[in-house]
Amino acid sequence: MDITRVGIVGAGQMGSGIAHVFALAGYDILLNDIDQTALDKAIETVTRNLDRQVSKEKISQEERDGALGRIATTLELSDLGGMDLVIEAATEREAVKVAIFEELVPHLKPETILTSNTSSISITRLASRTDRPEKFMGFHFMNPVPVMQLVELIRGIATDEATYKTLLGVVEALGKTAASSEDFPAFIVNRILMPMINEAVYTLYEGVGSVSSIDSAMRLGTNHPMGPLELADFIGLDTCLAIMNVLHDGLADTKYRPCPLLTKYVEAGWLGRKTDRGFYDYRGDAPVPTR
């Protein structure tokens, strides 16, 4: 199938990043959210990031202007009905995603491919709540989308070969690399990454090391670009907890039990960078460890 028009549901950090890379690759984008403020902020973010690419001479001014001209926004989910491909990039809560699909599906063309940017939820289960499980896939981008080269492609049990090959071609058109995953909880990246972050939180919880010592040890001892607790703050502690719960519930293995300290931070509303406090406090000039 020839994909030229792409609808994106959710104008948050992931949705705006996905809109950025698709528009830059020449696709016409319709970005949807229930909040006009979120849509306005998304356009500001895309503009700022495109300007940064121009300043670093990664793209031209003409490419920047063309990309911005290809992004439109809407508050009406039904407006996405004419798209060739729809990417759901709403919050990582299954009930929210299912509600979006149930509202959206009656407006879609029969041939439209429907995808979710979920980082952990069963693609087979999400697909079963639509009228097109054979044209449904997991389309998981990494954050920040304009920078990260990987896209996980996850087939549900009913996904057909034509849908998979179409999305494989889209990933190539974006200049990114696809990794194909089977539909098991958290797929590949988060199946490996989140337990590492959770173990870092246990290391903090048990007093083995402080926030600073844990992050320094992993940056300098394993050459990671950022420590696991700093990375958790960047991802969002609520997202980390949600993925650990999916792993724990889906695989029924105690090694995926979320650390109680991670749960406590989320209960406090200390979700990381997006709330200015997590394992670090970001309200000052420089981040300060909170433990």
Q: Where are the alpha helices (DSSP H) in 25-83?
A: 36-55, 61-69
What is the rounded CA–CA span in Å between residue 120 and residue 152?
Answer: 11
Q: Is 140 a catalytic residue?
A: yes
CB 2 within 8 A of CB 84: yes
Q: Is 62 a catalytic residue?
A: no
**Amino acid found at 278:** G
Give residue for tokens 């990454």: 193
What is the rounded CA–CA span in Å between residue 218 and residue 132?
Answer: 44
The residue from 32, 49, 116, 140 that is catalytic is 140
The residue from 20, 88, 92, 152 that is catalytic is 152
Pick from 167, 162, 222, 166: nearest CA to 196? 222
The residue from 16, 181, 190, 198 that is catalytic is 190
Structure tokens given for 258? 């979320």
The residue from 117, 119, 120, 181 that is catalytic is 119
What is the rounded CA–CA span in Å between residue 19 and residue 224?
Answer: 28
Pick from 172, 140, 153, 175: nearest CA to 53? 175
Q: Is 119 a catalytic residue?
A: yes
Number of Cβ atoms within 10 Å of the Cβ of 129: 16
Q: Is 152 a catalytic residue?
A: yes
Residues designated catalytic: 119, 140, 152, 190
